[in-house]
Amino acid sequence: MVSRKITVTNEQGLHMRPASIFSRAMTSFSSEVNIFFHDKKYNAKSVMMLMSACIKRGAEIEIRCEGEDEEEAMNKAVSLIEGGLED
């Protein structure tokens, strides 16, 4: 398992469009990908779960990836968050 804390800098946080971009990217990995926010776990492959988290700009989240391609999944997740969630 790999884990990393990161701050969301995207203007919209992880709402409709950014959540969709993120979850779509994470579904391409076989690893489990979860976001921890306010002591709750959210499946990062589910756009509805991400939207229900109400993650806003400036929020610190923890991304955890576990599985055979966990490093690649983490790299992509961090890249998307740091890049403002652009495809």
Dihedral (CA of 47, 12, 85, 69) sign: negative
Output the pLDDT for position 79.
95
Q: Round to whole Å and give the CA distance between 66 and 15.
A: 24
Burial class, 14, CB count within 10 angstroms (exposed 0-12 / middle 13-18 / buried 19+): buried
* Residue range 67-86, pLDDT digits in tens: 999 999 999 999 999 988 76
Q: Where are the domains of the chain?
A: 2-82
For residue 22, what are its two tokens?
């993120």
Q: The CATH number of 2-82 is which of 3.30.1340.10, 2.30.110.10, 3.40.30.10, 3.20.20.80?
A: 3.30.1340.10
Active site residue 38: no
12 pLDDT band (50/70/90 cuts)? confident
Output the pLDDT for position 50.
94
Average pLDDT over residues 58-75: 97
Task: Judge whether residue 62 has pLDDT over 60.
Answer: yes
Output the pLDDT for position 86.
64
User: Pick the catalytic residue: 4, 6, 12, 15?
Assistant: 15
* Whole-structure pTM value: 0.91
